[in-house]
Structure 1
Amino acid sequence: MTQVTVRLYKQGDKVWRDFKAELIKRYESSVMVDISESEAFSKLEKQEFNNLIVVKKKSILEKRAVSGVDDSDTLKTSVNNGLTKISKKRKEARAKYARGIEEAASQCDTLIDVAKRIGKSTTFVKRVASEFDIKLPRRNNGHEEIASR
């Protein structure tokens, strides 16, 4: 797979530093590496470890190799693309509502009246208004008033 440099590996009272190994498998916070070609380990140690050791991702110098692109990363990318498409559609829908909210805001005295006129919640009306810079009637000292336009 990919050759990486392991900064530190401890097993019992022995410590190995700065050795090359072949990346085999990635886990959540560690990686499995093949040490069969590494010169840092003796033949006996390689046999004892069965040519494989598991080290923390933090101890690998090549961060890009450790975080590399997996199938799981591809799935995340496709999900993100799907979400951006959905958010784009929702933004277009909010733009349609923005025109109605702007008109209703100029004619109504309270935010609740604007929401009733549009047929949406006050939260939705506030979100659309903030996104499209529409002045809304707002709450002031417990009473709804028209904000200065």
Structure 2
Amino acid sequence: MAVRVQHEDFDLGAEVAALRAGNPGVGAVASFIGTVRDVSEGTRVSTMELEHYPGMTEKALETIEAAARERWPLLGVTIVHRVGLLQPLDQIVLVAVSSAHRGAAFAACEFIMDYLKSEAPFWKKEDTPEGARWVDARVSDDAALRRWGIESFNADPANNKEE
């Protein structure tokens, strides 16, 4: 297992090589890389800044990884999420999983991304011509998580009440 939150970019080839290293049982590797787009909600984006809560964020990613391992027979999982100031085309997140068969690898990779988008404690701020704006959670992210039989903590209005 490799779960990292970092400012530095990552190398897909190196990450996949590490995931496969020394394990002849690996028959499939599936990966997803998320990148910064130059347009969000119809508005140009010049930069995106990602913030996190150190310690809590890594723990959340480890929980997501453990949930995937409970559902599929995975041989390895790598989750790398960048924080800090990013430009369009920069890589934001990598999810890579290995298993004996492609079905488990594809499903686990998609599950981890759906879970991560809804539940991981990251905060995104986009710089646009109209000024900086914080990116709200999307209803579609919660819907994607529900298809796995998980209700997002963020989707429950009781969890969003002010005390």
TM-score by length of 1: 0.22
Which is richer in helix? 1
Query: Structure 2 length normalisation: TM-score?
Result: 0.21
Larger RCO, structures 1/2 (Cα 8 Å, 6+ apart): 2
**Quick check: which has more Rg, 1 or 2?**
1
